[in-house]
Structure 1
Amino acid sequence: MRLQLATFDNFRLWERLEVELGSRLTLLMGENGSGKTAILDGVAIGLGEILKHLPGVTGIDFRKRGEIHQSGNRVRPYTRVTLKSTIPGLEWERVQRRDRSRTTAAAVPTGPGVRSLRNHLDEKVIDPSQEDRDFEMPVVAYYGVSRAVLDIPLRRRNFPTDYSRFDALVGALEASTRFKSAFAWFYFKENEEHTRQKAARSFDVTLPELDAVRRAITRVFPDLSNPRIEVNPLRLAVDKEGETFDIAQLSDGYQTLLGLIMDLAARMAMANPDQDDPLAAEAVVMIDEVDLHLHPAWQRRVVGDLLATFPRTQFILTTHSPYIVEALNNHLQRYRIEGLVRDDGEAEVRDLMALDPADVAAYGMQGREAVELLDGSSGLLDDRLLQHFNEINQLYDRMRDIEWEHGGEA
């Protein structure tokens, strides 16, 4: 399942806002308070209806206060988030009313409701799971800025001893950090793997679900290897440059991104463990400030790494970073010259993933509008996206002109 359109009526700062989503990537940029995170929150609320309908999972909902748009010091009668899928006829809504009066109820226009979504989930997920038929579990996840603080467990107390495929969605749309859940799952699966190795008397026996998570980690972090859980003390250990490190010893950039990759890969492996490649299942993933704590060199490759590691995931990202924009334009330009790149060409260009502009959407949040920034003719991001960076450059240019006017004298 992928999303095609998100519509917000009377939601927070907007009276109405429609955002068409890229099938692979949607990038949101803007100043603080411009609504980037609000869009992610709204989409998460809409996706919460999926979790609400599935067994054993709890979906998020609107907050009790602050969600309904206010104008002229008056709160509107309702707020509505509507999500439209790329699947024909699949559209649903979440609605919050200002109060329970009949007048307020009458002020809420008729919407698509939730029937089409529930019917779809019944047919494609719940019924097959009950009848032991093959099905693909939809994966959704939301990573907020609090992911920068990992909740690393200090003991194995209260670790689950069993998992179902629906557990892949537990807490998935809560924007808070949840590294502990992925850690516990990894520990559980390693024990299962060790049991199988002992029975087979071979260390060559591995679990495909664990291999998927290991592959995701080493794909994004080529300098790390052999991710594993160690005890005494309990820790996630990785090998780097011939030495073993606890994840807590790594930099904030490593911890923030590694925690996200491990959690997402674990959820995808848990959701669809029997797929040849669980990382290739469809998913909708939102990441607030994807550049959080990342060095500029990492910012230039993080989007490409995410898209390559999770090849059928639809990402909705926010960022302040010009390096993310630069990198995205490189991927888009690579698509333009796809047929011109030879196998013996420059490796840096040859190895860069091509990204079709038709799969991408980019918006600059200005005022109470989402301004499209992908140029239709060039297939690249417009320079308006870097307006505040350009303003800094203009100030530098003016100071340089003053210096030149005075012959370079201070």
Structure 2
Amino acid sequence: MIYVDRNTVERPISLSDEVFEDAQRQLLSNLAKDESILKQKRVKGFRVLYNSKEVKEALRSLFHGKCSYCEQPLTDKLYLTVDHFRPKQLATDSIAGLRHLYYSWLINEWENLLPSCPECNSAKFNYFPLKRYANFQESVEGCRKVEKDAILDPCFDRKISAHLKFLRDGTVKAKSERGEKTIELLSLNRKNLVRLRKKRWESVMSQLQTALKWEDNVRTLARFAKLMDQKQPFVAVSRTAGMTLLVPLVTKIGTMDTISDLMKHIWEGDIVPASIQELTSLMGLEKAMEPELISQNQVIPPKIRLISSVELTDYKALEDLKISFPSHTGQDSAPCLMLLGENATGKSTILEAITLCLLRENHGKALKLDPQSLLPFGRPTAKPRVSIHFNPKDGTDHWEFGVSSRKAYWKERDSHEIPVIAFGAHRFVTNIRRYRQRHIQVQTLFDPSKGIPDLRKWLVNAPAYKFNAVARAMKDLLLIPLDQDTVMTRNKDEGTIGFELFGQTLDLSYLSEGYKTIITLSLNVMRVLLEYNTNLEHAHGVVLIDEIETHLHPRWKMQIVSGLRKAMPMVQFVFTTHDPLCLKGMRNDEVVVLQRNEDSKIESLKDLPPIEGLRVEQILTSPYFGLFSALDPEVEINMIRYANLAASTNTSDNDQQLKEFRDQIESEMVIGRNPLEEIGYKAALRTIEDKRTRIADLSNINDDVFKEALDILNKKPEDL
């Protein structure tokens, strides 16, 4: 990290024109509402201007195509993401006042935007720990005056080297509390960065040592200057390496004046030594200031650990199966999975395996499962094993669960605990007093006779910050319009919960069974997550739901996945379903199709088409469900008979049968999704009759169908 003067690039027009001013007025108007509304409001619906091509190009130019934090070159693979130095929401886990809205008012502020690689952006997330926060809606300048212990800002902190020390082994050490916080929050000592910085140090040292041997001093200085230039990758490393060779450089050249500009680069414009003696003294001082880690009272929140893959070996019917989660690409929600497949292809088994592997040993044993029930049929000596791999690869790379010598085991654990909640396909609400026990949170997946706790009483009596966190999430889940200043209310005396919407209070107890099912399931998830977090926007965990479509109306089936993901964006959901409607809300590469091969071994289907944008009937007839068509089976058989009869010899008997088939087909099915498609289908049927076309030759009659369709369009309704 180095200091870069933001004034070297002009402020993008899109962040200063009338559109920007209008967006700011709208944003500040939203933030000026009553506190009861703001406490239950998420940062959504605001006009986003910071992500435009113009802004990205300005940021790229400002930092010469590098990440502002780690100085890696930004490429097509390591692409530029726009980072908010002060996050656009939830900059703190504090439950005080309106802290969950910090710093939404700076969402489009140029002074608050930096170019970042996805790795730094993901590591930093929304964390911005401080001992003291500025006032609500304070300007960037005002924030800087108050927030003295913030992480280093590469466009404000001119003396980065006073806080960070880059070493020859590629690591970076802290020289101050702010430096330590910056390193930890951005994960600046992640393995790939350390490797790249070490390689850069070695390359720079080799080039500089070679340059010192050249007779031409101008050429030597030019090489030093080039390697110290801020356009270079990892220039902070280059400058630190170059600093170790300044004494021999000055000795070679013989004068300090000649290298004054170079010295300003290395000392970042602060102190430029005037003589070799002063330089030697400063170098000695620099050596004496070898950095030590400085402890701080404020704890950096743990990094979110995402599941990257699951491997199952000899676990029940799953002989050897690996399922990969798509990589997290900095989107607004964590990668999830939807498992598809016919019955007996292991979907529920996979959910059970993931759940057991994520549970702590004492919680897993509390389920009182028979380890022998996990063995594959007919193989009593098998050793079932489930391995879960994580990303990022800090701490323990993977966790393992298995059965050996007829006993279950859990191993390769660290202190990091991941909340896990699981639901079986048979879900009903019941009153359970001991719902806080960890195994209760997953037991319906293993025992269909167990119910889901009714947590309305818990919500009525929950602390205010938990109640407001649930309210913010419920608005996304229940698809309440963003422009509605809806407030969730509770009456502790009567034990009721409701929403104030359109001037009326809607009691949740009067909602339909479908709504109640969704709310009850979601409350069980939210209660657990709020044991580990102060909000649901940052809360991470793994939630597994078997047959997500159970008890849901088709409209809810289409919205449930996206609703859950919006309500709890950093939760990794793993669903199973038999309903194509529930694939709405899943992204490409997030759907896994399980099937049995010729040897009856369960495997996942490869090379699936993109799921986003497919219509329901397209999903049904795609490899995701593998149906030949979405028609009623009897109608489909009649269609085939009709086409085959049309291709046979033209006789009066055939003509009569064709007419009967056509009348039957048109009476049994709704042809087309709209009037135009209906005309197209009718034209195709008539052309098949007239041309005596076989199914195999249907692709050759497009022109005839088109003419027939025109004829139908030109006829009067009574002639059709």
Q: TM-score range by the shorter chain?
A: 0.5 to 0.7
Please report how far the alpha carbon of residue 159 of structure 1 lies from its aligned counterpart in structure 2 after TM superposition: 8.4
Q: Secondary structure at the match of 1:18?
A: strand
Q: 2:582 aligns with which of 324, 333, 355?
A: 324
Q: 2:551 aligns with which of 293, 312, 334?
A: 293
Report Cα offsets for 1:223-279 as digits up to 9, x if no partner: 5965556578755555677464453x4333112211111111222122212xxx333
Please report how far the alpha carbon of residue 77 of structure 1 lies from its aligned counterpart in structure 2 after TM superposition: 3.4
Whole-Å Cα distance in 2 between the matches of residues 159 and 91 of structure 1?
Answer: 31
Match of 2:471 in 1: 214
Whole-Å Cα distance in 1 between the matches of residues 559 and 508 of structure 2?
Answer: 24
AA of the residue aligned to 2:313: D
Change over 3 Å in CA distance of 1:387–1:409 after alignment to 2: same
Which structure dedicates a bigger proportion of its chain to strand? 1
Match of 2:192 in 1: none
Once the two structures are superposed, the pairs formed by residues 145-156 of structure 1 within 5 Å of their partners are: 145-147=425-427, 149-151=428-430
Whole-Å Cα distance in 2 between the matches of residues 6 and 38 of structure 1?
Answer: 13
Change over 3 Å in CA distance of 1:390–1:186 after alignment to 2: same
AA of the residue aligned to 1:370: E
RMSD: 3.6
AA of the residue aligned to 2:572: Q
Whole-Å Cα distance in 1 between the matches of residues 601 and 320 of structure 2?
Answer: 9
Change over 3 Å in CA distance of 1:178–1:226 after alignment to 2: farther
Change over 3 Å in CA distance of 1:86–1:372 after alignment to 2: farther
Whole-Å Cα distance in 1 between the matches of residues 548 and 326 of structure 2?
Answer: 17
Q: 2:456 aligns with which of 177, 183, 187?
A: 183
Please report how far the alpha carbon of residue 94 of structure 1 lies from its aligned counterpart in structure 2 after TM superposition: 1.7
Residues 144 and 288, structure 1, Cα contact 8 Å, conserved in 2: yes
Match of 1:86 in 2: 391
Whole-Å Cα distance in 1 between the matches of residues 624 and 612 of structure 2?
Answer: 14
Q: Secondary structure at the match of 1:33?
A: coil
Change over 3 Å in CA distance of 1:374–1:318 after alignment to 2: farther
Once the two structures are superposed, the pairs formed by residues 45-124 of structure 1 within 5 Å of their partners are: 45-49=356-360, 52=363, 60=367, 62-71=369-378, 74-88=379-393, 89-97=396-404, 99=406, 114=410, 116-117=412-413, 120-121=414-415, 124=416
Whole-Å Cα distance in 1 between the matches of residues 540 and 552 of structure 2?
Answer: 26
Please report how far the alpha carbon of residue 141 of structure 1 lies from its aligned counterpart in structure 2 after TM superposition: 1.0
Whole-Å Cα distance in 2 between the matches of residues 246 and 305 of structure 1?
Answer: 18
Answering whether residue 314 of structure 2 is matched by residue 10 of structure 1, we say: yes
AA of the residue aligned to 1:84: H
Match of 1:252 in 2: 513
Unaligned 5+ segments in structure 2 are 1-304, 328-334, 445-449, 647-657, 665-720
Q: 1:143 aligns with which of 411, 414, 423?
A: 423
Please report how far the alpha carbon of residue 42 of structure 1 lies from its aligned counterpart in structure 2 after TM superposition: 0.9
Please report how far the alpha carbon of residue 22 of structure 1 lies from its aligned counterpart in structure 2 after TM superposition: 3.6
AA of the residue aligned to 1:92: W
Whole-Å Cα distance in 1 between the matches of residues 375 and 456 of structure 2?
Answer: 37
Please report how far the alpha carbon of residue 377 of structure 1 lies from its aligned counterpart in structure 2 after TM superposition: 7.5
Change over 3 Å in CA distance of 1:150–1:212 after alignment to 2: same
Change over 3 Å in CA distance of 1:159–1:32 after alignment to 2: closer
Match of 2:625 in 1: 386
Residues 6 and 19, structure 1, Cα contact 8 Å, conserved in 2: yes
Report Cα offsets for 1:54-88 as digits up to 9, x if no partner: xxx976464355221023xx433332222222242
Residues 346 and 602, structure 2, Cα contact 8 Å, conserved in 1: no
Residues 316 and 376, structure 2, Cα contact 8 Å, conserved in 1: yes
Structure having greater relative contact order (Cα 8 Å, sep ≥ 6)? 1
AA of the residue aligned to 2:308: Q
Please report how far the alpha carbon of residue 294 of structure 1 lies from its aligned counterpart in structure 2 after TM superposition: 1.4
Unaligned 5+ segments in structure 1 are 101-107, 125-136, 161-166, 193-206, 333-356
Once the two structures are superposed, the pairs formed by residues 234-249 of structure 1 within 5 Å of their partners are: 242=504, 244-245=506-507, 247=509, 249=510
Whole-Å Cα distance in 1 between the matches of residues 511 and 421 of structure 2?
Answer: 24
Q: TM-score, normalised by structure 1?
A: 0.65
Q: Secondary structure at the match of 2:624?
A: helix
Residues 539 and 570, structure 2, Cα contact 8 Å, conserved in 1: yes
Q: Secondary structure at the match of 2:604?
A: strand
Once the two structures are superposed, the pairs formed by residues 355-394 of structure 1 within 5 Å of their partners are: 357=588, 360-366=590-596, 367-372=600-605, 375=608, 383-388=622-627, 390=629, 392=631
Match of 1:263 in 2: 524
Residues 45 and 60, structure 1, Cα contact 8 Å, conserved in 2: no
Residues 402 and 410, structure 2, Cα contact 8 Å, conserved in 1: no
Q: Secondary structure at the match of 2:551?
A: coil
Q: Secondary structure at the match of 2:519?
A: helix
Residues 419 and 529, structure 2, Cα contact 8 Å, conserved in 1: yes
Whole-Å Cα distance in 2 between the matches of residues 308 and 246 of structure 1?
Answer: 20
Change over 3 Å in CA distance of 1:379–1:244 after alignment to 2: closer
Match of 1:130 in 2: none
AA of the residue aligned to 2:385: R
Residues 543 and 574, structure 2, Cα contact 8 Å, conserved in 1: yes
Whole-Å Cα distance in 2 between the matches of residues 94 and 263 of structure 1?
Answer: 25
Q: TM-score, normalised by structure 2?
A: 0.39
Report Cα offsets for 1:324-356 as digits up to 9, x if no partner: 23x24xx64xxxxxxxxxxxxxxxxxxxxxxxx
AA of the residue aligned to 1:399: N
Whole-Å Cα distance in 2 between the matches of residues 244 and 70 of structure 1?
Answer: 52
